[in-house]
């Protein structure tokens, strides 16, 4: 007892001198409550694709690859190691020993094959199946002409290889996204249509209970292959919690994390309260908000008019309008993304220059057009700010404030001349510039129903992008990123978008939760990396 007292006193003395971060060394145990307004739709990793279920799925399941917590740095996860063939067409993964599903069965290469095929199989209706189009046999399976991916080969009980039809430098990232997470076939088949409600994975937390509309409870996976994590014994997600009410509950000590973030209307008040200083984690996210201009139709088929719009928008004012919850965007890629060109300042705010460009384009008096925006705060207010900026140079933009699905439809059909992307696009699924190109700026997305709402299709840039993605060797990584940088510089010259701001993430959490701020604003586990946060009051 005396020894304990002495050591405690010594520890206290140490803590007093040490920085606060040291005092917060993680402890095992405790519980946390996270609130969301909407009940989760599904916990099926091959299907779930909204930002409420995205990180919950990440805590229950694992993939072959993952990222270091709080960063965008790739590392092997369920794979112990991997090799890439010289031609970049074959990836061979050696699986880790001792990985078990929550039902106790050991994970095998057959599970990896099954899971990837499940993502591509059209019967699954996976919104991420298209990511795996480089795997040999994709077309046959996706087209319903095969039941397996011929490019996946089980070599022995620990080794599996993927053969691609084209080199794809993003392949390792693709092995880290939710759609490639490993699921046990027997559990999927046993649960049938209820699989999304009874998930069984290999991840840090084990699914325990789902009460529809009320809560989901996860428990620490005691057999998790990573020693010592997760820290929390229990993680509860409560639903139907309006963020305004959730904040009141957090102040009452009933809630630990407001999953939906801080409502815009309360942001200033909460940030100004000194009591919240250590409770709000701030971090970058891989997001750009932009205005698309349909380049296939007049007047936006004219480069000068698109450039004029870029120069007319006062991005600083819009950033202030959203209470500085972001930074003005100079280009399509966000600053935290590899390939971001910090030397490219983009189009400066210059209404006079914009007017000149309009005159040069033969529209000195301006014109009338439509600006589509999603009807959830703060997007209509942002659209109004853009409307005012455009009016200052003579462009009269009528705002079409609609439900998300309607704006997406108007963008997909090409009906919308301009769209403010807020609330819909674009947050990267994985931290690579390719994820900011093909679907939203490349020719592949410029089709009916695609997400390239500018309908911008530059074959030359597409070719350069594909060349860049063919550089798969580790020593080519830098050349590849530089090539992407130049692709995005050229996109900006063509100005199919007017980039407006890069959103930051602010997560409000209770004082009893500990962990680096980067875990509460993890760029991959959006919004929070539940596996590494801990309860300070754990016994």
Partner 1 sequence: MLFYFAKRLSASALILVGVTIVTFCLTFLIPADPVAMIAGRNSTPEMREQIRIQLGLDKPLIQQYAAYAQRLAQGDFGISYARKSEVGPLIASRLPATLLLMLGAIIAELLIGIPAGLYAAARRGQTGDKVAMTLSFLTVSTPQFVLGLSLLYFFAYLLGWFPLSGYGSLSHLILPAVTLGLAGGGWYSRMMRSSMIEILRQDYIRTARAKGMSEKRVMLVHGLRNAILPIIAMIGLDVGIFMSGVVVVENVFGWPGIGQLMWQAIQSLDIPIIMGITTVAALFIVAGNLLADLVAPLIDPRIRLR
Between CA 357 and CA 156 the distance in angstroms is 64
**264 is a contact residue toward partner 1 (CB under 8 A):** no
Residues within window 423-452 making contact with partner 1, judged by CB under 8 A: 425, 429, 439, 444, 447-451
* Per-position x/- string for 287-306, each x denoting binding to partner 1 as judged by CB under 8 A, each - no binding: --------------------
Tokens of 130: 């298209």
**362 is a contact residue toward partner 1 (CB under 8 A):** no
Residues 6 or more apart whose Cβ sits within 8 Å of residue 445 = 438, 439, 451, 452
Tokens of 276: 């919240």
CB-nearer residue toward partner 1: 48 or 76: 48
Instruction: Give phi and psi for 89, each to the nearest 5.
Output: -100, -15
Between CA 323 and CA 527 the distance in angstroms is 19
Tell me how far the alpha carbon of residue 248 is from its chain's centroid. 28
Q: Are 431 and 450 in contact (CB under 8 A)?
A: no
Indicate the SS3 state at residue 21.
helix
CB-nearer residue toward partner 1: 212 or 463: 212
**140 is a contact residue toward partner 1 (CB under 8 A):** no
Q: Are 534 and 27 in contact (CB under 8 A)?
A: yes
Between CA 345 and CA 353 the distance in angstroms is 16
The residue within the footprint of partner 1, chosen from 9, 22, 81, 122 (CB under 8 A), is 122
**189 is a contact residue toward partner 1 (CB under 8 A):** no
Residues within window 220-239 making contact with partner 1, judged by CB under 8 A: 238-239
**62 is a contact residue toward partner 1 (CB under 8 A):** no
Tokens of 385: 């700010």
The residue within the footprint of partner 1, chosen from 33, 39, 203, 383 (CB under 8 A), is 39
**474 is a contact residue toward partner 1 (CB under 8 A):** no
Indicate the SS3 state at residue 384.
helix
The residue within the footprint of partner 1, chosen from 228, 252, 275, 474 (CB under 8 A), is 252
Residues contacting partner 1: total by CB under 8 A: 56
CB-nearer residue toward partner 1: 130 or 335: 130
Of 48, 539, 518, the C-alpha closest to 285 is 518
Q: Which stretch binds partner 1 (CB under 8 A): 109-117, 281-289, 401-409, 501-509?
A: 401-409
Q: Are 370 and 389 in contact (CB under 8 A)?
A: no
**244 is a contact residue toward partner 1 (CB under 8 A):** yes
Give the strand pairing for 368-374 and 396-402: parallel
The residue within the footprint of partner 1, chosen from 34, 47, 313, 337 (CB under 8 A), is 47
Torsion sign (Cα): 278, 279, 284, 289 = negative
The residue within the footprint of partner 1, chosen from 32, 89, 408, 468 (CB under 8 A), is 408
CB-nearer residue toward partner 1: 314 or 421: 421
Shortest Cβ 374–partner 1 spacing (Å): 11
DSSP letter at 222 equals: T
CB-nearer residue toward partner 1: 158 or 197: 197
Question: Residue numbers of the site for partner 1 (CB under 8 A)?
Answer: 37-39, 41-42, 44, 47, 49, 122-123, 125, 127-131, 133, 142-144, 193-194, 196-197, 211-214, 238-242, 244-245, 248-249, 252, 254, 403-406, 408-410, 412, 425, 429, 439, 444, 447-451
């Amino acid at each position: 007892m005396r020894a304990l007292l002495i050591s405690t006193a010594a520890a206290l003395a140490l803590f007093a001198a040490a920085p606060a971060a040291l005092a917060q060394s993680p402890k095992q145990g405790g519980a946390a409550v996270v609130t969301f307004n909407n009940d989760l739709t599904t916990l099926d990793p091959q299907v779930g694709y909204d930002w409420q279920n995205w990180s919950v799925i990440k805590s229950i399941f694992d993939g072959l690859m993952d990222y270091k917590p709080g960063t965008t740095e790739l590392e092997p996860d369920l794979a112990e190691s991997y090799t890439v063939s010289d031609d970049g067409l074959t990836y061979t993964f050696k699986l880790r020993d001792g990985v078990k599903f929550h039902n106790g069965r050991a994970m095998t290469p057959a599970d990896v094959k099954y899971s990837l095929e499940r993502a591509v199989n059209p019967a699954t209706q996976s919104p991420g199946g298209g990511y795996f189009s480089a795997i040999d046999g994709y077309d046959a399976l996706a087209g319903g002409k095969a039941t397996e991916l011929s490019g996946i080969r089980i070599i022995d009980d620990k080794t599996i290889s993927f053969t691609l039809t084209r080199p794809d430098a993003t392949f390792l990232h693709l092995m880290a996204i939710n759609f490639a997470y490993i699921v046990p076939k027997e559990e999927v088949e046993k649960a049938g249509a209820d699989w999304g409600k009874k998930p069984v994975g290999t991840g840090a937390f084990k699914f325990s209970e789902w009460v529809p509309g009320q809560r989901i409870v996860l428990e620490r996976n005691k057999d998790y292959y990573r020693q010592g994590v997760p820290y929390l014994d229990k993680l509860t997600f409560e639903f139907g919690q309006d963020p305004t009410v959730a904040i009141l509950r957090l102040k009452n000590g009933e809630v630990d994390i407001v999953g939906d973030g801080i409502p815009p209307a309360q942001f200033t008040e909460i940030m100004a309260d000194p009591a919240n200083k250590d409770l709000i984690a701030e971090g970058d996210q891989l997001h750009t908000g932009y205005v698309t201009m349909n380049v296939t139709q007049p007047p936006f088929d004219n480069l000068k008019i698109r450039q004029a719009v870029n120069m007319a928008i006062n991005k600083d004012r819009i950033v202030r309008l959203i209470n500085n919850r972001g930074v003005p965007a100079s280009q399509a890629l966000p600053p935290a993304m590899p390939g971001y060109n910090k030397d490219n300042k983009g189009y400066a705010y210059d209404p006079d220059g914009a007017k000149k460009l309009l005159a040069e384009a033969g529209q000195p008096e301006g014109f009338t057009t439509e600006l589509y925006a999603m009807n959830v705060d703060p997007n209509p207010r942002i659209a109004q700010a853009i409307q005012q900026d455009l009016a200052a140079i003579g462009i009269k933009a009528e705002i079409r404030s609609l439900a998300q699905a309607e704006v997406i439809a108007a963008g997909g059909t090409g009906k919308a001349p301009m769209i403010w992307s807020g609330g819909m696009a674009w947050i990267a699924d994985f931290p690579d510039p390719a994820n900011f190109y093909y679907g939203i700026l490349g020719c592949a997305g410029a089709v009916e129903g695609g997400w390239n709402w500018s309908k911008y299709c530059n074959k030359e840039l597409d070719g350069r992008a594909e060349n860049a993605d063919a550089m798969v060797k580790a020593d080519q990584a830098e050349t590849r990123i530089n090539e992407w940088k130049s692709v995005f510089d050229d996109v900006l010259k063509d100005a199919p978008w007017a980039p407006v701001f890069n959103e930051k993430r602010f997560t409000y959490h209770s004082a009893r939760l500990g962990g680096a701020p980067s875990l509460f604003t993890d760029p991959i586990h959006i919004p929070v990396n539940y596996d590494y946060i801990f309860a300070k009051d754990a016994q």
